[in-house]
Amino acid sequence: MRYSNKMPSRLGAGLLALSMPALALAAPAVAEAEKQPLNLHAIAMFFVFVLMTLGITYWAASRTKSASDFYTAGGGITGGQNGLAIAGDYMSAATLLGLTAMLYMQGVDAYIYMVAFFVGWPVILFLMAERLRNLGKFTFADITSYRLNQGKVRTMAAISSLIVVCFYLVAQMVGAGQLIKLLFGLDYAVALVVVGALMMIYVTFGGMVATTWVQIIKACMLLIGGTAVMLLAFSRFGFSFQELTDRAMEVHKLGTNLLAPGSLLADPVTALSMALGLMFGIAGLPHILMRFFTVTDAKEARKSVLYASGIIGYFFNVIAIMGLCSIVIVGTDPQFFEGGEVGGKVIGGGNMIAMHLAQAVGGNLLLGFLSAVAFATILAVVAGLALAGASAISHDLYARVIMKGKASEATEIKISKFATVGLGIVAVLLGMAFEKMNVAFMVALAFGVAASANFPVLVLSMYWKGLTTKGALAGGYLGLFSAVAFVTLSKSVWVDVLGFASPIFPYTQPALFSMPLAFLATILVSKMDNSAEAKAEIEAFEDQYVRAQTGVGAASASSH
């Protein structure tokens, strides 16, 4: 395939799917991949991981007594532990496999994607981490509804949270099924049931304590596995980045353009919209925001973002080097191509590049370990998502909206466990229904909704005195519906899924359009609201501001 400034749409859709941190390889390339032979090394190592995490879940179950324990591990996680857990929640199998494959195919464009994923963390560190910890209890809806109408604002926040969680979950489940078919040789349906069942066990019995430790172990495994492959591969070039890039440019079809931005920036509007969606979407993802309520105080919240940023930044660079090494090591080895033809179709599909690199430098043992890590990665992300979804249903909708704060803690936890099981079953069924579809649009939608519905209302509720309930509802719902509408009318749904000839909305990423709409609607409607309730809400900002800055009252709130 000759390289041109306009990437072929099929490859573009696949790479978009791969590049999203939540989407574990749901591109067409995976769906078309043949089931691989049974990988006994990988199954044995994954079995060890499952036994270890089930042991942790058993231990966590004895420590999970109250709602605070279930949702936030009793606020007893340290900054370092939480930083690892956030990194574990954020770095999915697509980060490892998808971005390595993208760098192997497209060169430096993949690194631009990684930077877009990364720049959201300073926003969280400087604008949000401390205030989240000081104001929140279990979910970010606690903050958006702090001085506003509890019922209406929580309902809106819970709806947008559930939409983000569901789309993320489906993307993860489809990716999980295809990935396990590739790596382990198991059937797609079996893989979905295994992932769904384990996720239900972790969350239902162990709550946030078990979920946190699953994420920490998985983050450590991912860092160890990725670093081992990178070091073994890099050692073949004498740890010289100059030699690595020279040889990569010699053998790659792009030649010297390998390190020049290409097709991603051919359409600057899409690139900008994607970057905005990723940057501010992170700051609106319910399963990431939830992690800030698990630490003891605001100082530990800041520390956890610092650790997470360092770990994620390091891992992105590991992947970049892996991608460059694979161009030379995998790209010139006929054993990794069908029919033994270098430059032909990669065995198992393009997403197997990282796995082929592991096999080339470390044999079947390292391949087995990395495969087990990829599966563990999906489990950890899915568990975090399920807990965020369950808390939106039980804490926000049931306890606060339906029962108006009068629900007992025991009933709230019971509802949360039922919600987890329900979400698990829905995720497995939707995973089966979407097996043959390219679900890249689901990730665009998840980030678009997080950036357009959650982030504007959340940040304005913390920083802007003039926010009112009517303004928050207008902005939140407009952000939610506009993000969904733009993605539905874009090529990724209108053409690829619904089969129409051309899209109505020309861009695949909604954030550049839907996020300003949400901010504008929130501010305009708040300014026009002169009701007595609005005046009381504006006056209540002083109390919220003091608590956001000092944390006074936060400790007692999390212990209730």
Task: List pLDDT tens digits, range 300-341.
Answer: 999 999 999 999 999 999 999 999 999 999 999 998 888 888
Domains of the chain in sequence order: 24-437 (1.20.1730.10)
Q: What is the mean pLDDT of residues 261-273?
A: 82
pTM across the whole model: 0.85
User: Using CA atoms, how far apart are residues 192 and 166, in angstroms rounded to an integer?
Assistant: 15
More confident residue, 25 or 116: 116
- Mention every residue, 6+ apart, whose C-beta is less than 8 A from residue 250: none
DSSP assignment of 77-111 equals B-HHHHHHHHHHHH--HIIIIIHHHHHHHHTTHHH
φ, ψ of residue 174 to 5 degrees: the values are: -60, -45
φ, ψ of residue 358 to 5 degrees: the values are: -60, -45
Roughly how many angstroms between the first and final C-alpha of the chain, as a whole number? 61
The pLDDT of residue 304: 94
Chain centroid, CA 144 distance in Å: 22
User: Using CA atoms, how far apart are residues 100 and 428, in angstroms rounded to an integer?
Assistant: 27
pLDDT at 126 over 90: no
- Identify whether the C-beta of residue 264 lies closer than 8 Å to the C-beta of residue 499: no
Which tens digit of pLDDT belongs to each residue from 164-214?
998 888 888 888 887 787 778 788 888 899 889 998 998 898 889 999 998
The pLDDT of residue 16: 38
User: Using CA atoms, how far apart are residues 69 and 179, in angstroms rounded to an integer?
Assistant: 33
Helix (H, G, I), strand (E, B) or coil at 337: strand
| Residue 159: C-alpha distances to residues 164, 168, 446 (Å) | 9, 14, 12
Q: Token pair of 408, please? A: 């007992």
pLDDT at 67 over 60: yes
Q: Token pair of 499, please? A: 């089969």
- Mention every residue, 6+ apart, whose C-beta is less than 8 A from residue 463: 127
The pLDDT of residue 35: 63
| Residue 12: C-alpha distances to residues 71, 185, 345, 429, 503 (Å) | 39, 27, 17, 28, 16
Q: Token pair of 2, please? A: 């000759």
The pLDDT of residue 142: 87
Q: Token pair of 334, please? A: 């006929």
User: Using CA atoms, how far apart are residues 383 and 191, in angstroms rounded to an integer?
Assistant: 15
